[in-house]
């Protein structure tokens, strides 16, 4: 099975119904065989967006409490999601990525970590697939050689075949 690092632009679809949420949910059903990872920055971004939707009145307090708990339970407290460190060297390495692809510094640092990790794996390993819906980030990742998955563009019926194609 491939390894899936998640960006907040896709992770949030697990907790807030959007285009691609069904595909994201289907991916979650493949755990723990499907190895997933994210970062604390992505967790915080997702938590912040859910708060903003509540502050705008788009969801009730009951729903907000539920999705913030679900986010913590499924990302922070779950053994199925590994959390990657974004260290100072990643922040600096990210400058080259933001220079090249016009992405912001925190996304660039996260991408730098994902790239370093993917490049450290033996070439015979299953693919490392960035899951995101941020087009700029996806373009940057693809240009750097990372396999990408935009859940907005993959039908839920095609998830199993997509994963099998990467194994």
Partner 1 sequence: MAAAPKPDRPDVSRFFVSEEKRAELRKIAREVNARAGIPFDPTITAEQELMRAQGVRPENNGASRELLRMRYGGDYEEE
Residues that bind partner 1 (CB under 8 A): 3, 8-10, 12-19, 21-22, 25, 28, 35-37, 40, 43, 45, 48-53, 58-60, 63-74, 76-77, 82-85, 104, 107, 113, 116-117, 120-122, 133-136, 152
If the CB atoms of residues 152 and 162 are measured against partner 1, the closer one turns out to be: 152
Task: Give, to the nearest 10 degrees, the angle between helix 105-120 and helix 40-55.
Answer: 140
CB 23 within 8 A of CB 153: no
DSSP annotation of 145 reads T
CB 126 within 8 A of CB 99: no
CB 126, min distance to partner 1, A: 11
CB 139 within 8 A of CB 12: no
If the CB atoms of residues 22 and 144 are measured against partner 1, the closer one turns out to be: 22
CB 14, min distance to partner 1, A: 5
CB 66, min distance to partner 1, A: 5
CB 160, min distance to partner 1, A: 19
CA 74 to chain centroid: 13
CB 93, min distance to partner 1, A: 13
If the CB atoms of residues 45 and 141 are measured against partner 1, the closer one turns out to be: 45
If the CB atoms of residues 61 and 145 are measured against partner 1, the closer one turns out to be: 61
Backbone angles phi, psi at 149, to 5 degrees: -140, 120
CA 61 to chain centroid: 26
CB 129 within 8 A of CB 162: no
If the CB atoms of residues 89 and 165 are measured against partner 1, the closer one turns out to be: 89
- Residues 85 and 58: their CA atoms lie apart, in Å, by 32
């Amino acid at each position: 099975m491939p390894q899936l690092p998640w960006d907040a632009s896709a992770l949030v679809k697990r907790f807030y119904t959007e285009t691609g949420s069904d595909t994201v949910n289907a991916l979650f059903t493949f755990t723990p065989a499907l190895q997933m990872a994210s970062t604390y920055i992505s967790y915080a971004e997702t938590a912040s967006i859910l708060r903003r939707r509540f502050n705008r009145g788009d969801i009730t307090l009951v729903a907000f409490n539920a999705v913030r708990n679900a986010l913590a339970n499924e990302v922070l407290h779950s053994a199925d999601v590994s959390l990657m460190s974004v260290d100072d060297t990643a922040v600096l390495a990210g400058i080259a990525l933001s220079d090249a692809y016009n992405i912001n510094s925190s996304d660039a640092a996260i991408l730098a970590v994902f790239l370093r990790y993917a490049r450290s794996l033996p070439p015979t390993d299953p693919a490392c697939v960035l899951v995101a819906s941020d087009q700029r980030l996806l373009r940057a990742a693809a240009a750097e050689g990372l396999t990408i998955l935009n859940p907005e563009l993959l039908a839920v019926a095609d998830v199993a075949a997509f994963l099998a194609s990467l194994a």
